[in-house]
Structure 1
Amino acid sequence: MSGSSPFKMRVVHLDLKGAPPRVSYLSEIFPLFHALGANALLIEYEDMFPYEGHLKLLRAKHAYSPSEIREILHLARQHALEVIPLLQTFGHMEFVLKHEAFAHLREVALFPNTLNPHEEESLALIGAMVDQVMELHCGARWLHIGCDEVYYLGEGETSRQWLQQPQNSKAKLCLSHLKAVASHVLTRHPSTTPLVWDDMLRDVPEDLLQESGVPQLVVPVLWDYGADLDVHGKVLLMEKFQKCGFPQLWAASAFKGATGAPQTLTPIQHHLRNHLQWLRAAQAVPAGTLQGIVLTGWQRYDHFSVLCELLPVGIPSLAICLQTLLQGGFGEEVKDKVESCLGVASLDLTDFTREGAGSFPGSDILDLVTQVSVHLRSSVEALLDSNRCVTGWFSPYHRRRKVIHPVMVQHIQPEVLSLLGHWGLFVQELEAALNRIFYPDAVEEWLEENVHPSLQKLQSLAGDLREAAGQPPDDQAGSPRTHGDLTIRQEPQERVGTPHNHDLT
């Protein structure tokens, strides 16, 4: 590998709070990560970690077992990927604070995102979580303690009273909790350095940062996922942090999951520009200023939001971004390496409709998701909104009254059944592919969000046509994929309230 990268550590982020992969898939992609130039993983377990004791209720339905965590660590070592666990300890605590047992530790009673920093029990909770995570990651050089987007900090009743004292501020409140968490990590695990997202530190006055003692405890990770990242602004921020006493700085880019909460396909050019800007920022400061860069791949914006692009969908973007960082820019050498690693005949950064997504692990999912995202909704909308027979002779008015000119049934029905047949078979293939890599709840969620709404419209139209034409009901309409009909499963009632990945209770 070339040594032209300004980043010693190139870290791939695995966000497990949505569509966590099976360990079998991780065994397939870790060699690819290594081949592309990654040398570490930032694993954000959230509710996929096998918490024990009074924390066991935090586990998702399909949480990894301790043996699976050990297998993941073994696979990572095999492919020279250093593992950095990430545990949220202040903001983005929804997976903890949504539970009634911990709801009293919310900063604002109504919102489960931010921990109340005034409660001794809050720090005890974080300490217990940290210790359980570190027990399975013994010897980890770094632990990322999160602390980004601590929304509503200072708005709880206890905080309001505390802030009435003139010497207190939200910045002091934030630094105090951050220091307490970092001190726990360093006391219990002295060989482990805490990493922390930088956004809550950016606007803290320099003198307050210096006096807090925080710069001697944590390493800030400066994150910015924009294609138009302000290089000069980042240089000034790095200079500020260094002046305040932080001995190390890291960066964080994004290879997926940062361009829209419901995004299904990855806009590669956006992410490539983001990485090129980070290269410019790294090259504008003394060598070694930025020790490493985390290539984030968000799977949800938070615990309650919809799924972003699935991991296999983002692999080409990750490949391009990793190689761009490794080579210090984007050129023919990057393209050739990516095409070779992914089994892609010709790298295309913009065309989502091109057939053939490569031969890398999960490439079949990229191809199938692309076809669904680009063509499913548009084909259904074209039938409902642009087909003159439907709009002219079977409008919503006609459908409600089940009235249609008999000849129009012959014009409309074959196309409806053809579309149902095509997409029904297609979705069977997609569902099988998804089940090979993901757990059933993630597959169900993705299909319900991205496939079922369009198919339900088709099934509804087909049913209305049969009624209007006086045809007998399809005897097998309730069977999966008959004439392309896809049964839309409902969420089983007994699962409501169980803490799996997309449970919003």
Structure 2
Amino acid sequence: MEENKMTVSSPFGLHLVHLDLKGAPPKVSYLAEIFPLFHTLGANGLLIEYEDMFPYEGELKPLRAEHAYSASEIKEILNLAELHELEVIPLVQTFGHMEFVLKHQEFSHLREVEMFPNALNPHKEESLMLVSAMIDQVVALHDGLRWFHIGSDEVYYLGEGEESKQWLQKEENSIEKLCLSHMKAVASCMVSSYPEVKPIVWDDMLRGVSEETLTESGVAQLMEPMIWDYAADLDEDDKGGYSEKVKENVEKQLGLSSLEIDTFMSESSGTFPGSDIFTLVTQVCCYLKPSVDEFLERNRFVTGWFSPYHRKRRIVHPIMMHHFQPDALSLLAKWNAVMQELQAALERVFYMCTLEEWMEENVHPSFHKLQEVVDDLDKAIQAQS
């Protein structure tokens, strides 16, 4: 989730929270908990990047993720947003970041480069028909839209497809013109179908384009650019900067004694919705994982008396065993407790696929290493008896 602000030319002064739903989308029940916090912190809008979580129908149905929101859930999200005075702006990628579309066999022929599913081929009429169909379905579920974001950031490998290479052989053509022509086509399509809705586009692909080329393209009249940047030093003194007062207010609203990372383990870990996950993840990353590495690699009784050599041959000295077995069992018990708590906390907010991925990548490797040592120790003890 990121905060994005409309450029100065926007008359509406929207302060948006970017809900990027690709990767680890939350359940609607969690959004109901977090929307009031967004409002309290000063947001008055949501930029919702649905990606594969939108309930596409018909020929677009393959785009749906396994746990995509239903149409009724989309309506619930919109009702919750309205309840908390958050204007919704949908974001549908129409150029780059099209993996969730172009990874499917049905649409793979529309890739800019055959082997990469990230960018759409801007030369094919079917490409425009595809993104128009996506936009139509999203607009249909959103009443009273004023803005619609057509994405278009990070269009990697643009110009490297075979059709683009041929097109670029003409002296008057350039990658900038190719980019602008597709953006203009998508925006024109939108304005034609929905004249009351203003298209928004990320600005990163436009930064290197000359003012003359931009003027000639006619895109300025069709869409509003939105700054795409992760820099921490944006000059925002006119729409509110990050001050000590702001920091203290955020800490109060989140229930944190400090936003500084080095205090997370020693101080309260918050009262905001999902703070239980934050606390448990912090325990896993800052305590449990390092403690397993410390035990297995730097505990002199383990490295000296129960090395891989000893474990393989089930050899353990009865006296030395008592120097590390209690620590191994205690650490394993802590892991088990945290794993169960974390699984329950994650399941409340996320879908099972997200839970399984996070646990497999961040919890299971350390836990299994520790479990294997305890199991090998039991086998060695049995072999000695």
* 2:365 pairs with 1:450: no
Q: Does the Cα contact within 8 Å between 1:355 and 1:367 map onto a contact in 2?
A: no
For 1:323-362, list aligned pairs within 5 A: 326=240, 328-332=241-245, 334-344=246-256, 346-350=257-261, 351-362=263-274
TM-score after normalising by structure 1: 0.71
Match of 2:127 among 98, 122, 126: 122
**1:212-231 correspondence to structure 2 within 5 Å:** 212-226=217-231
Partners of 1:376 and 1:187 in 2: CA distance: 57
Contact 1:105-1:116 at 8 Å conserved across structures? yes
Residues 251-275 of structure 1, C-alpha deviation per residue, up to 9 Å, x if partnerless?
xxxxxxxxxxxxxxxxxxxxxxx1x
8 A Cα contact 1:45 1:86, kept in partner? yes
Aligned match for 2:277, one of 360, 365, 372: 365
Aligned to 2:30: 25
Cα distance in 2 between the residues matched to 1:204 and 1:348: 39
* CA distance 1:354–1:348, shift in 2 (3 Å): farther
Cα distance between partner residues in 1 of 2:255 and 2:173: 58
Which residue is equivalent to 1:416? Answer: 328
Query: Could you tell me whether the CA contact under 8 Å between 2:302 and 2:324 is conserved in 1?
Result: yes
Partners of 1:459 and 1:93 in 2: how far apart?
Answer: 41
- Partners of 1:339 and 1:157 in 2: how far apart? 53
1:451 is aligned with what amino acid?
V
Q: Which residue of 1 aligns with 2:58?
A: 53
1:375 to 267, 287, 291: 287
Per-residue CA deviation, residues 192-221 of structure 1 (Å, 9 max, x unaligned), is 111111111111122111101111111111
Cα deviation, 1:11-62, whole Å, max 9, x if unaligned, reads 0011111221111111111111111100000011100000000111111111
* Residue 152 of structure 2: aligned partner: 147
Q: What is the aligned counterpart of 1:167 among 156, 163, 172? A: 172
In structure 2, distance between residues paired with 1:405 and 1:340 = 54
Relative to structure 1, the CA distance from residue 471 to residue 414 in structure 2 (aligned partners, 3 Å threshold; closer, same or farther) is: farther
Cα deviation 1:109-143 (Å, max 9, x = unaligned) = 11111111111111111010000011111321111
Q: 1:399 aligns with which of 293, 311, 332?
A: 311
Measured in 2, the distance between the counterparts of 1:446 and 1:420 equals 19
- Which residue of structure 2 aligns with residue 40 of structure 1? 45
Instruction: Confirm whether residue 438 of structure 1 aligns to residue 350 of structure 2.
Output: yes
Distance (Å, rounded) in 1 between the aligned partners of 2:141 and 2:128? 20
1:229 alignment partner in structure 2: none
1:294-331 CA-to-partner distances (Å, cap 9, x unmatched) read xxxxxxxxxxxxxxxxxxxxxxxxxxxxxxx64x4412
Corresponding residue to 1:135 among 132, 140, 147: 140
Q: Which has the higher contact order (CA 8 A, sep 6+)?
A: 1
Root-mean-square deviation (CA), in Å? Answer: 1.8
1:9 counterpart = 2:14: yes
- Aligned pairs for 1:68-79 within 5 A: 68-79=73-84
Alignment of 1:427 onto 2:339: yes
Q: Which blocks of at least 5 consecutive residues in structure 2 are unaligned? A: 1-7
Code of the residue aligned with 1:140 in structure 2: it is L
The aligned counterpart of 2:296 is 384
| CA–CA separation in structure 2 for the residues paired with 1:171 and 1:79 | 41
Aligned equivalents of 1:448 and 1:183: distance in 2?
A: 45
**Offset, 1:455:** 0.5
| Deviation at residue 406 of structure 1 after TM alignment | 3.4
Secondary structure class of the residue paired with 1:220? strand
Counterpart-to-counterpart distance in 2, 1:343 and 1:107: 48
- TM-score (ref. length: structure 2): 0.92
Answer whether contact 2:91 2:150 (CA < 8 A) is retained.
yes
- Residue 465 in structure 1 maps to residue 377 in structure 2: yes
Q: Which residue of 2 aligns with 1:94?
A: 99
Question: For residues 119 and 429 of structure 1, what CA distance do their matches in structure 2 show?
Answer: 51
CA distance in 1, matches of 2:383, 2:35: 55
Which deviates the most, 131-140 or 396-405?
396-405
- Secondary structure in 1 aligned to 2:116? coil
Equivalent position of 2:5 in the other structure: none
Q: 1:250-329 counterparts in 2 under 5 A?
A: 274=232, 277-278=233-234, 281-283=235-237, 326=240, 328-329=241-242
- Name the SS for the 1:83 alignment partner: strand
1:89-118 Cα distance to aligned partner (Å, 9 max, x none): 110000111111111111111111111111
Matched pairs, number: 373
The amino acid across from 2:300 in the alignment is R
Tell whether the 8 Å contact from 2:314 to 2:383 is kept in structure 1 after alignment. Answer: no
- CA drift at 1:471: 5.3
Tell me what 1:261 maps to: none
Is the Cα contact below 8 Å between 1:409 and 1:469 reproduced in 2?
no
State the Cα distance separating 1:340 from its structure 2 match: 3.4
What's the offset of the Cα at 1:85?
A: 0.5
Post-superposition offset of 1:460:
1.7
Change (3 A) 1:163 1:336: closer
1:336 shift after superposition: 4.3
Asked if structure 2 preserves the Cα contact closer than 8 Å seen for 1:108 and 1:114, the reply is yes
Q: Distance in 2 between matches of 1:444 and 1:100?
A: 26
Contact 1:16–1:43 (CA<8 Å) still a contact in 2? yes
